Structure 1
Amino acid sequence: MLLARHMLRSVALGALMAVWLPAQAGLFDDEEARRAILDLRNKVTQGEQQRGELAAQVKQLTEQIQTLQRNLLDLNNQNEQLRSEMARLVGQNEQMLRDVSEVQRRQKDIAQNVDERVRRLEPQQVSVDGKDFLVEAEEKRAYDDAMATMRAGEFDKAAPALVTFLKRYPSSGYVDSARYWLGNAQYGLRQYKDAIATFRAFVAAAPDNLRAPEALLALANCQAELKDNKSAKRTLEELIRQYPKSEAAQAGRERIVTLK
């Protein structure tokens, strides 16, 4: 009896297990599916989050790139402005250098002009016929102008200019030379009597002058032009006696032979 009950219980338990195990298996399959779905949803959610994060990063990077581009454009504009400013400054500098050079040139010209004017006003040392002396600027200019007309053969201008000079500067170092050339200008104008007086005054005032022998020879020629051969011979004899080694004395020796 007990054995029968035990067998009956075993059969019932087996039947129950047969019913429960498939149902339990179905429950396990649904749980795994739910877990898979949840995992998939989590992955999708994480993917969406990652995409959102990536999109945010891309947006941020895009904004940074745009900012960098704007900054680069600004830098290029600033660089271009700097180049323009540098070109302008270089141009100004070159112009300033030209202006400075022009100012320096003008200053140099002014300084030279001032120096020239000062030199004209200051006494100058000159040398005439072996004699050195100081002359005033106006004095030198008057003498040079008179001598310029003399060298040009303009005796009609030279004679009055030399007369004026002798009256204006009676103590000048040029006096002996001016008197000598005045005698020559008068001789050129055939004013022989005036020339004789001028040459006499020259020799009397400057017997040691280098041109004294020439003055005596010219004086004798003036006397010969006036047909006063006797006076001409005496003048030539004086020339030969006082300046025997001069060229004028040699010419006088030749000249005296022709006088009767």
Structure 2
Amino acid sequence: MKRLLPLAALLALSSAGPAHAGLFDDTEARRQIMEMRQDLENRIDATSRGQLELANQNEQLRGEVARLRGQIEVLVNEVESLKQRQRDFYVDLDNRLRKLESAAVQPQAAQAADPAAESAEYEAALNLLKNGKHREALTAFEAFVSKFPAGSFTPSAHFWAGNAALQAKEIASATNHFNAVLGKWPNDSVAPDAMLGLANSQQAMGDAKTAQRTLQSLVERYPTSNAAQAAKQRLGKR
């Protein structure tokens, strides 16, 4: 009996050894699982934050695009409005000039070689200008004044050529055409507006002092004209 006790103790120790080792293995496995879970959760959190930041950036970009589209739409509307005002200005000014010229055109028309052709070419050039085709209009008006140097519409053609040249940034050409009106037809109905155009040309060339003197001369030479009223506003007079 005494010999059996050590044997039983030995068996108990041998059986407890594997159980204790298994306990440590399970704890290590649990620790690794917890670490893996924490790492996965950290990655998920980082991904979520990244997606949220990306969503915010996308929202900001969409807002910026919408804002830019709104600005573009406003600019397009302003350009179209400016073009329409410019066309209306040309039509209104041309109508006023025609009323002033009507008395002079009739007697001169009989002397023209082909008054119908003159009128047609003048209208064609004027339509180019009304449609914003400034360089084409300038070319057409210059061809007109060359073909009809003493025609009924020649003073007006020079005036409109000056305006077309001014819009096309051909300042020297504009100056020449406005001076042609003032030099050859100072009493024509377009002369006051030609002098105003000359002042605009001088201003465009950076010669503000000469432009101011031209405006003053306009007020003195054609005091009752609409151009003189515009000149007074530019000069700050009432």
SS of the equivalent of 1:244 reads coil
SS of the equivalent of 1:129 reads helix
Per the TM alignment, residue 232 of structure 1 is displaced from its structure 2 partner at its CA by 0.4
- Which deviations, in whole Å up to 9, do the C-alpha atoms of 1:75-133 show, x marking residues without a partner? xxxxxxxxxxxxxxxxxxxxxxxxxxxxxxxxxxxxxxxxxxxxxxxxxxx97733223
Matches within 5 A, 1:96-245: 129-130=101-102, 131-132=104-105, 133-134=108-109, 135=112, 136=114, 137-245=116-224
The one-letter code of the counterpart of 2:193 is E
> Equivalents in 1 of 2:205, 2:229: separation in Å?
23
> Equivalents in 1 of 2:190, 2:136: separation in Å?
22
1:252 paired with 2:226, answer: no
The one-letter code of the counterpart of 1:138 is A
SS of the equivalent of 1:239 reads helix
Aligned to 1:90: none
Query: TM-score, normalising length from structure 2?
Result: 0.52
Gaps of 5+ in 2: 1-97
Query: TM-score, normalising length from structure 1?
Result: 0.48
SS of the equivalent of 1:163 reads helix
Q: Describe the shift of the 1:128–1:246 C-alpha distance in structure 2 as closer, same or farther (beyond 3 A).
A: closer
> Equivalents in 2 of 1:223, 1:210: separation in Å?
22
Per the TM alignment, residue 227 of structure 1 is displaced from its structure 2 partner at its CA by 1.2
Per the TM alignment, residue 185 of structure 1 is displaced from its structure 2 partner at its CA by 0.5
Report if aligned partners of 2:100, 2:189 keep a CA contact under 8 Å in 1: no
Per the TM alignment, residue 189 of structure 1 is displaced from its structure 2 partner at its CA by 0.5
Gaps of 5+ in 1: 1-125
Larger Rg: 1
The one-letter code of the counterpart of 1:247 is N
> Equivalents in 2 of 1:238, 1:206: separation in Å?
16
Bigger relative contact order, structure 1 or 2, given CA contacts below 8 A and separation 6+?
2
- Which deviations, in whole Å up to 9, do the C-alpha atoms of 1:155-208 show, x marking residues without a partner? 111100111111112121111111111001001111112111110111111111
Q: CA RMSD in A?
A: 2.0
- Which deviations, in whole Å up to 9, do the C-alpha atoms of 1:17-71 show, x marking residues without a partner? xxxxxxxxxxxxxxxxxxxxxxxxxxxxxxxxxxxxxxxxxxxxxxxxxxxxxxx
Q: Describe the shift of the 1:127–1:213 C-alpha distance in structure 2 as closer, same or farther (beyond 3 A).
A: closer
Q: Describe the shift of the 1:183–1:152 C-alpha distance in structure 2 as closer, same or farther (beyond 3 A).
A: same
Task: Quote the sequence identity (%).
Answer: 32
Report if aligned partners of 1:128, 1:174 keep a CA contact under 8 Å in 2: no
